[in-house]
Amino acid sequence: MSDPHTIGIAGLGVLFLLLALRMPVGLAMVAVGIGGNYVLSLVVPYLRFEPYLLQFKTLLWQNVANYDLSVVPLFVLMGLLAARADLSGDLFRGMSAALGRVRGGVAMAAAGACAGFGAVCGSSLATASTMGRVALPQLDALGYSPRLATGTLAAGGTLGILIPPSVALVIYAIIVEASIIEMFRAALIPGLIAVAGFVAVIWLRVRLSPGLAPLPTPLPRAERVVAYRRLLPVVLIFGVIILGLGAGLFTPTPAAAFGVFVIAAYAMLRPGERRLGLGGTADALRETAVTAGMITFILFGAEVLKGFFTRAGLPAALAEWAGGSGLDPLTVLVVMLLALIVLGCFMESLAMILVVVPFFWPTLVELNGGDYATAATSAFGMDAGELKIWFGVLALIVVELGLITPPVGLNVFIIAQLSGGIAMRETFLGVMPFFGAELLRVALILLAPGVALFLPRLLAG
């Protein structure tokens, strides 16, 4: 096995094996990267191992010292403070009060609350877990069908990835060297389309099968007033952050710092038993440190792994093969997106973005006509800058789809565990209409790239 490409493919197989055995993602990447480079140095004389090792003197520091990455722990802390202060509950209860007059309105409120909280939280799995604890008991008490209730929450956990601020968008932008602000702008309209699509799915299902949801039970006026009063500060905080980022009033790191400060101040000063205390703040800070350290190590592992794959020539070989295959570029892109859906059944979204995107991105650039392609000369009708934004939106959508795809949808497992005995089959059946709506959204963005590129083009002018 002396061919570098063969060694690279073997290393990729070992990586997926280690991930299947539940080895931590960052550690698996580092192990395959270093081990693969050592094997390369044994069989390919000019690929010496010692020069490769020298990069480790500065590689970890370069990852930690990246200013763009400083936004990640702030977004993580913002989500943890919001969860500990039960802002997710305020969001859900306020939206339920507003939509409770419509049949299926509480399920619609759960989907909307998942989108709002997921945008701040940045993790689909954490969103599904948090909102499942908040919304499932109420949906069950009101008499909603277990299939509709669990399906809505499992699918709803995927909504936040595109609504700014989003940790996954930041990581993707860092990998492909895109503007974080541009990615946030591009993701906003597709994210809102997703929320509207989920609400439409719930409305249609309840209309076709009224037994899935009980008759509307509006809250008494006094309870509605309390719910709206608690919802308003949450909407204002999240709205200022999202609109400020989209309009370019502030950059991501100051926006995240502002969000942390405002959420912490509000959570500590709010009246009632759910006020955030010093103990909850300390727990959130500790968990942020652990999460930020994990993300930083995963990014370090991705750099180590990328060095191995680059020396093995895999990304270049894939780009060369795709360019010379004669396949239509759009067909190649669709195959890539299908591969991401399959991989999403088994891998967390961040790990998938870090492992797969460095392979696919150079291939798309080659298919598009190279780094200097213009909208007039490119295969996709856009330059490399717009291509990375468009592909990022598509990739993040399908990465999240894997979390609700049988047989190993991680969001479905989380909701099934929280549901207290509802069969996994019921949750998967409940998820499928939402999965269909997401496929329609992907098709819309594929066929009409302007859906994602409208805001970046408008605000750049």
Kindly tell me if the per-residue pLDDT of 443 is higher than 80. yes
| pTM as predicted | 0.83
Q: Using DSSP, how many helices (H) and how many strands (E) does the chain show? A: 21, 0
Percent pLDDT > 90 in the chain is: 9
> How does DSSP classify residue 269?
H
Mean pLDDT in residue range 173-183: 85
> Looking at the predicted structure, is the pLDDT value of residue 355 above 90?
no
3-state DSSP: the chain helix, strand, coil percent, rounded to 5?
80, 0, 20
Residue 13 has pLDDT above 70, yes or no: yes
- What pLDDT is attached to residue 211? 87
What mean pLDDT is predicted for residues 275-284?
Answer: 78
pLDDT over 80 (residue 350): no
Residue 25 confidence (pLDDT): 79
Band of pLDDT at residue 272, cut at 50, 70 and 90: low
Is the preceding peptide bond at 165 cis, omega within 30 degrees of 0?
yes
- Amino acid 197: pLDDT: 93
- Give the mean pLDDT of 185-207: 91
Tokens representing 133 are: 């604890």
pLDDT > 70: percent of the chain: 93
Task: Find out whether 379 and 368 touch, Cβ atoms under 8 Å.
Answer: yes
Place of tokens 């763009």: 68
- Predicted local confidence at residue 198, as pLDDT: 93
Measured CA to CA in angstroms, residue 30 lies from 26, 57, 305, 306 at distances of 6, 15, 6, 10
Residue 157 CA neighbour count, 13 Å, CB half: 33
Lowest mean pLDDT among 102-106, 329-333, 413-417, 433-437: 413-417
DSSP conformation class of 217: -
Cβ distance 60 to 26 under 8 Å? no
Helix (H, G, I), strand (E, B) or coil at 85: coil
pLDDT of residue 407: 67
pLDDT in tens, 68-90: 777 888 888 887 888 777 777 88
Answer whether residue 274 shows pLDDT above 70: no
Coil/strand/helix, residue 347: coil
Between residues 371 and 383, which one has the greater pLDDT? 383
Q: How far is CA 200 from CA 157, 192, 195, 196, 434, in A?
A: 17, 12, 9, 6, 10
Of 133, 125, 135, whose CA–CA distance to 161 is shortest? 125
Secondary structure class of 423 (helix, strand, coil)? coil
State the average pLDDT for the chain: 82
Q: Which two tokens stand for residue 1?
A: 């096995």
Q: Using alpha carbons only, how large is the chain's radius of gyration in Å?
A: 23
Say which residues have a Cβ less than 8 Å from residue 269's Cβ, sequence separation at least 6: 275
pLDDT digits (tens, 9 = 90+) for 299-336: 888 888 888 888 888 777 777 777 676 778 888 888 88
Q: How far is CA 434 from the centre of its chain?
A: 17
**Model confidence over 283-299: pLDDT tens digits?**
888 888 888 888 888 88
Residue 445 has pLDDT above 90, yes or no: yes
pLDDT at position 346 is 67
- Tokens for 406? 């049988």
Contact 278, 7 (CB under 8 A): no
Q: Which residues lie below 8 Å from residue 17, measured CB to CB, with a gap of 6+?
A: none
Q: What is the pLDDT of residue 1?
A: 42
40/278: higher pLDDT: 40
For residue 343, the model assigns a pLDDT of: 77
Q: What is the DSSP string of 14-58?
A: HHHHHHHTT--HHHHHHHHHHHHHHHHHHH-TTS-HHHHHHGGGT
Q: Identify the band that residue 205 occupies on the pLDDT scale cut at 50, 70 and 90.
A: very high
Question: Given this model, what pLDDT does residue 193 score?
Answer: 92
Confidence class for position 168, pLDDT limits 50, 70, 90: confident
Statement: residue 194 has pLDDT above 80: yes
